[in-house]
Structure 1
């Protein structure tokens, strides 16, 4: 599924529930967004990173399972021995028993009860892809760059087995559908 299709799905779901639309659309193209709308949307990169990388005690995680390699048994759905004939970079000492995607929630959730933030499929987030540089100070709920050619993809998938891809800091970009990229939805809480 493309980033645009994921955003359009968020608007469709908002319409089904009578919520204000988050994404502004002309035809089949997303041309902007309403940051104050309470409708469904893709999580921002900052939201995704906070939920994926913090352990609930203020510590930042390197990998979904902690800081050690290899991952413990049943840590998630990653490029492992089941796909070694098809992918170049796999973990030879790990087997999650899935060739490609696994059913959602096949592995344990993180400390917040969120499933599959790493492994299974990578995820589209709201933000355009841009270089991550120094920030002058703390930002509250950043939305990422205002313009860009590509959108950000976060998290590893069943097709990732390299150490850099397994890290929770891993970022990718794209616009078009890939068989290892999906999405999750988010909403702001009503006040």
Structure 2
């Protein structure tokens, strides 16, 4: 699994990472030395310690064998597997909730633009979050919009597609 740009923040994952670093440093090992002993890369050890990659079951078992921890890392790995989908929010979700709380309209245009969301915020601010870029992909920018104030384009986010035609246009 490739490393994530943002670290995981689930308690089980951070506990695994903290224990790994504690055991490694207590043994006087560098990431490279531990990686060589376990048969993995130092980058992987570093990614797990920084919570940017999840440990594998094999990695956890190898750590238990190497450090003689009586199954500590395997139990932590099991806890990650049991809880990781329950305790983490997708990147950007807290910001989305803040926008949603003030939204006047919310339009999901993912069927035509590939999982991009457009939503309008309160009329006083006249701001629309439109995370589509000029090529139809996601870009994450905030733009000014007119929300039904009688000007051209009223009620529609700027730069958005016109009304859909054909089957399913009312979605």
TM-score (structure 2 length as normaliser): 0.23
TM-score (structure 1 length as normaliser): 0.21
More helix by percentage: 2
Between the two structures, name the one with larger relative contact order (CA 8 Å, sep ≥ 6): 1
